[in-house]
Amino acid sequence: MTSPEKTPFYITTAITYPNGEPHIGHAYEYIATDAMARFKRLDGYDVMFLTGTDEHGMKIAQAADKEGITPKELVDRNAEIYKAAHAALGISYDRFIRTTDADHYAASQAIWKKMEANGDIYLSKYEGWYSVRDEAYYTEDETVVKDDGVRYSVGTDTEVTWTAEESYFFRLSAYQDKLLALYESQPEFGAPNYRFNEVISFVKQGLQDLSISRTTFDWGVPVPGNDKHVMYVWVDALTNYLTGVGYPDVESERFNRFWPANVHVIGKDISRFHAIFWPAFLMSAGLELPKRVMIHGFLTNNGVKMSKSLGNVVAPQDFVEQYGLDQVRFFFLREVPFGADGSYNHEAIVGRMNADLANNFGNLAQRSLSMVAKNCEGKVPVPGEFTAEDSALLAQASGLLDAARAAFEKQEFSRALEAIWSVLGDTNAYFAEQAPWVLRKTDVERMNTVLYVTLEVVRTVAILAQPVMPTSAAKLLEALGQPEGEARQFAAISAPIVAGTELPAPAPVFPRYEEPAES
Ligand code: ME8
């Protein structure tokens, strides 16, 4: 729901080709984007989060053909599979867009007409190499013939085929200088730097006009005024970000509120489409540009590329079943600096689950809450005067909000989690050193203070952990007597936990991973 007094924040994932099943690489992008969207909601923003499926193009048409069904039947079936994966991963999107949605046809045709009216579209003939797998065109020197006699794209190692047909072109070459000026004036337009720099060097080498329509198949958005052509799938795919906020109704409240997008989250293989084609299309259509394209790396299974033929493709749901949803979400965001490539394996996941979650966070919460249940009549104790150590720890905890904000602003999720877990580490050391179980017999007031300080850190961390681990954090906040709503918003971090708050009987939130018994 839009609320005028809140600052809008519009975030998107790439829309996935529903030709196969979702894998952990897709899940990674959904989880990261979801954490960002949740973070902003908890920080008081009015968030619009768009995700969905990219349903046109030759790849989909060929996949359907192989199965002996129509493309529409294929995408109708598979869009549901993707939606189920989103549900299993706890993705809190506001709209799941399908590029076969009626409003998306209208948006794609509208942006086409704008680009055409601006003189940027012309009819000619395309001759060159096309990779169906990548839905991308390559120049001769971007391809190589391998030992098997087949020609491949060098960058992505996918087969290319010679294509020669009448085609509409977009005058991309006219945008080289404007794009370079954009990168210059908005150095944060693409991130991280090392990935954005690759895009910039590519543009500096010179841009060719882009073929933007196809005549050899009809599974796409028809080109306005020429039914022989369907749009090149990337023209319609990128336009989904506009459809999602009501384009072409540029007067609508939604469009005015949410466009331009704050962040497009995408993988490294599609950075050129988002940081070159997309801003050029938008400039041509006279629309504002997104503020940031955040390019994440690729996940590999123990260093090995996920592929069906290797049999190492993991369905996100299987992962969630094995380790738990919040554990999976935490693992990926903590383990891999967002932007970098990352590898996962069973031991690494179990390591994080047991050390960071069960020990560092879960035990601390459970031990302090159990002591409160037994020794403080199940109520948040009244603290005595704070010592320098207490105050230092409380200050560290309350400083976490700014640290997390700074990190999330740049999608540096692992940095935010590292900072939070470092305070948890210090709190564990504090708890061990203060030994409230000893104080119970010697100095009850001091025990109360130590428990109070510990609960306050746990509360702060639980509030900040919500974007990454919504279910577990909610359970902890429940255990800390913090009801849903305002008490769980980031703004509540500055109001310390209230002594006397009644707490329900505590139950462990982060189980240790136990290897299943050998059968
Ligand atoms: O590219 N690790 O769709 P897609 C991390 N339809 N991310 C990965 C990955 C991996 N192993 N494999 C894929 C498309 N991704 C287009 C997008 S947007 C207007 C159109 C990421 O299904 C990939 O980089 O091939 C992309 O961001 C997303 O998953 C969907 O990939």
Q: Which domains does the chain have, with CATH numbers?
A: 8-119+234-301 (3.40.50.620), 121-170 (no CATH), 358-502 (1.10.730.10)
Our answer on whether the CB atom of 21 is closer than 6 Å to any ligand 1 atom is no
Between the CA of 315 and the centroid of ligand 1 the distance, in Å, is 15
* Integer Cα distance of 293 and 488 in angstroms: 30
Between the CA of 225 and the centroid of ligand 1 the distance, in Å, is 32
Ligand 1: residue whose CA is nearest its atom 14: 16
49 bridge partner residues? 11
Our answer on whether the CB atom of 299 is closer than 6 Å to any ligand 1 atom is yes
Between the CA of 97 and the centroid of ligand 1 the distance, in Å, is 16
Ligand 1: residue whose CA is nearest its atom 11: 25
Q: Which atom of ligand 1 is nearest to the CA of 265?
A: 27
Q: What is the pLDDT of residue 3?
A: 62
Between the CA of 27 and the centroid of ligand 1 the distance, in Å, is 10
* Integer Cα distance of 16 and 239 in angstroms: 14
Pocket test residue of 11, 26, 302 for ligand 1, highest count of atoms within 8 A of CB:
26
Pocket test residue of 277, 298, 341 for ligand 1, highest count of atoms within 8 A of CB:
298
Our answer on whether the CB atom of 15 is closer than 6 Å to any ligand 1 atom is yes
Question: What digits encode the pLDDT tens for the residues 418-439?
Answer: 999 999 999 999 999 999 999 9
Between the CA of 264 and the centroid of ligand 1 the distance, in Å, is 12
Determine how β-strand 46-53 pairs with β-strand 226-231: unpaired
Ligand 1: residue whose CA is nearest its atom 8: 25
Its ipTM equals 0.99
Separate counts of helices (H) and strands (E) for the chain: 20, 17
Q: Which residue has the tokens 């005549």?
A: 215
Our answer on whether the CB atom of 233 is closer than 6 Å to any ligand 1 atom is no
Give the residue from 137, 164, 140, 153 showing the smallest Cα distance to 277: 137
Our answer on whether the CB atom of 104 is closer than 6 Å to any ligand 1 atom is no
Between the CA of 270 and the centroid of ligand 1 the distance, in Å, is 7
Q: What is residue 481's three-state secondary structure?
A: coil
Ligand 1: residue whose CA is nearest its atom 22: 16
Q: What is the pLDDT of residue 309?
A: 65
* Contact (Cβ atoms closer than 8 angstroms) between residue 477 and residue 493: no
Q: What is the pLDDT of residue 154?
A: 95
* Contact (Cβ atoms closer than 8 angstroms) between residue 34 and residue 90: yes
Between the CA of 342 and the centroid of ligand 1 the distance, in Å, is 15
Pocket test residue of 266, 276, 282, 294 for ligand 1, highest count of atoms within 8 A of CB:
266
Q: Which atom of ligand 1 is nearest to the CA of 238?
A: 19
Between the CA of 53 and the centroid of ligand 1 the distance, in Å, is 11
Sequential pLDDT tens for the chain (519 residues): 556 689 999 999 999 999 989 999 999 999 999 999 999 999 999 999 999 999 999 999 999 999 999 999 999 999 999 999 999 999 999 999 999 999 999 999 999 999 999 999 999 999 999 999 999 999 999 999 999 999 999 999 999 999 999 999 999 999 999 999 999 999 999 999 999 999 999 999 999 999 999 999 999 999 999 999 999 999 999 999 999 999 999 999 999 999 999 999 999 999 999 999 999 999 999 999 999 999 999 999 888 877 766 777 788 999 999 999 999 999 999 999 999 999 999 999 999 999 999 999 999 999 999 999 999 999 999 999 999 999 999 999 999 999 999 999 999 999 999 999 999 999 999 999 999 999 999 999 999 999 999 999 999 999 999 999 999 999 999 999 999 999 999 999 999 999 999 999 999 999 999 988 875
Output the six-digit token pair for 498: 């209230």
Between the CA of 33 and the centroid of ligand 1 the distance, in Å, is 13
Q: What is the pLDDT of residue 34?
A: 99
* Integer Cα distance of 57 and 233 in angstroms: 5
Q: Which atom of ligand 1 is nearest to the CA of 306?
A: 11
Q: Cite the beta strand spans of 254-338 per DSSP E.
A: 263-267, 293-296, 299-301
Instruction: Please give the angle made by the CA atoms of 255, 258 and 263, to the nearest 5 degrees.
Output: 135
DSSP state of 173: G
Instruction: Please give the angle made by the CA atoms of 63, 64 and 69, to the nearest 5 degrees.
Output: 155
Our answer on whether the CB atom of 266 is closer than 6 Å to any ligand 1 atom is yes
Our answer on whether the CB atom of 287 is closer than 6 Å to any ligand 1 atom is no
Question: What digits encode the pLDDT tens for the residues 341-397?
Answer: 999 999 999 999 999 999 999 999 999 999 999 999 999 999 999 999 999 999 999
Rg, the chain, Cα only: 26
Between the CA of 238 and the centroid of ligand 1 the distance, in Å, is 13
Between the CA of 326 and the centroid of ligand 1 the distance, in Å, is 22
125 bridge partner residues? 166
Between the CA of 268 and the centroid of ligand 1 the distance, in Å, is 8
Q: What is the pLDDT of residue 304?
A: 80
